[in-house]
Amino acid sequence: MAEDGVVTLYNNTAITDTKKNPVSIKVGLTQMLRGGAILEVSNTNQAKIAEEAGACCLVITEPNRQGISRMPDPALIKQIKRAVSVPIMSRSRIGHFVEAQILERVGVDYIDENEVLAIADEFNFINKHNFRCPFVCGCRNLGEALRRVREGAAMIRTQCDLSGTGNIVETVKNVRCVMGEIRILNNMDEDEVFAFSKKIAAPYDLVAQTKQMGRLPVVHFAAGGIVTPADAALMMQLGCDGVFIGSEVFDNCSDPYKRVRGIVEAVRHYNDPHVLVENSCGLEGEMAGLNVTEERMEQFGE
């Protein structure tokens, strides 16, 4: 998937405000992130380490906020923007278009309408066509991904529900679900696509485009539990265009640069066993705190 050419999205002037960036430009901006690792940071020091290690973009989050999670402090965003030169992404709550307006005004390069934060609107997502800034949205299956694309998402993030545990099982399941549904779609006759689009509750034109392209019509990243070079390479070999890396890679780590650099290199050279071996050496001790607790684990086969 990572070797494919530039992906072009549908052009529908009926849902595109001419005063805003057209969808094709937003999708083009996210294309620049393909084959890279996006790191979550919460302070200037982490941001500088991530930039030096080769991160293609930084997600700014609030450090250890208690209670309801909201968008990060704009002052923190400005501080990190001044310290680094890589693109900046920040999160807004689902449906909270005012948070998105503030983030766009602050000058972030991408907005992540993220389900990890508290949900502001239980029934409606942000109309992303009303913004110049490209949006990233999460999904767990193909139908959900294409519905977010119809709303204006320029990047899709397949992820799990766990956060900060180092457990990748749900992420693998959801990525395989999306890729498996695309393979089923590719093998369908044209007459069957109508029924399939209805089954997954996705717009027919986007389903047909996905079948024609053999992949999602926008950039597709994976997120959740990716803390080792092997994890990152697994996501890439499953067909993703890149990975999100949580801030847990900085926790209880004597050399966060080595860990982050190893993951970045694994994304770039995911099919080269020699590079993967080299970047996986000496990381076992750094992973000691990244384990899901036993009560949150399900027995295989149950």
Domain contains 185:
yes
CATH number at residue 154: 3.20.20.70
The token duo for 1 is: 């998937």
The neighbouring-strand residues paired with 220 are 156
Residue 65: its pLDDT value, please? 64
- Residue 256's H or E segment, with its range, is helix 256-268
* CB hemisphere CA count around 135 (13 angstroms): 31
Measured at the CA of 168, the angle between CA 163 and CA 173, to 5 degrees, comes to 110
Note whether residue 9 is domain-resident.
no
Secondary structure class of 161 (helix, strand, coil): coil
> What is the predicted pLDDT for the residue at 287?
55
| Region of residue 301 (left: phi > 0; alpha: psi -120 to 50; beta: else) | left
Q: Is 51 exposed, middle or buried (0-12, 13-18, 19+ CB in 10 A)?
A: buried
- Position 14 in a domain: no
Domain count along the chain: 1
Range of the domain at 88: 22-280
Q: What is the pLDDT of residues 62-116, one digit of tens each?
A: 877 666 788 999 999 999 999 999 999 999 999 999 999 999 999 999 999 988 7
User: What ranges make up the beta strands (E) of 100-250?
Assistant: 110-114, 135-139, 155-159, 219-223, 242-245
Q: With a cut of 90, say whether residue 178 has pLDDT above it.
A: yes
Would you say residue 16 lies in a domain?
A: no
CB atoms within 10 A of CB 3: 7
On whether residue 8 sits in a domain, the answer given is no
- The token pair at 172 is 């693998």
Encode pLDDT of 13-61 as tens digits. 434 444 567 888 999 999 999 999 999 999 999 999 999 999 999 999 9
- Has residue 287 been placed in a domain? no
Over its C-alpha atoms, the chain yields an Rg (Å, rounded) of: 19
130 contacts: CB under 8 Å, gap ≥ 6: 17, 20, 97
**298: CB partners within 8 A, 6+ apart:** none
> Does a structural domain hold residue 12?
no
Residue 230's nearest CA partner among 293, 289, 284 is 284
pLDDT digits (tens, 9 = 90+) for 158-171: 977 545 566 899 99
Residues in the chain: 302
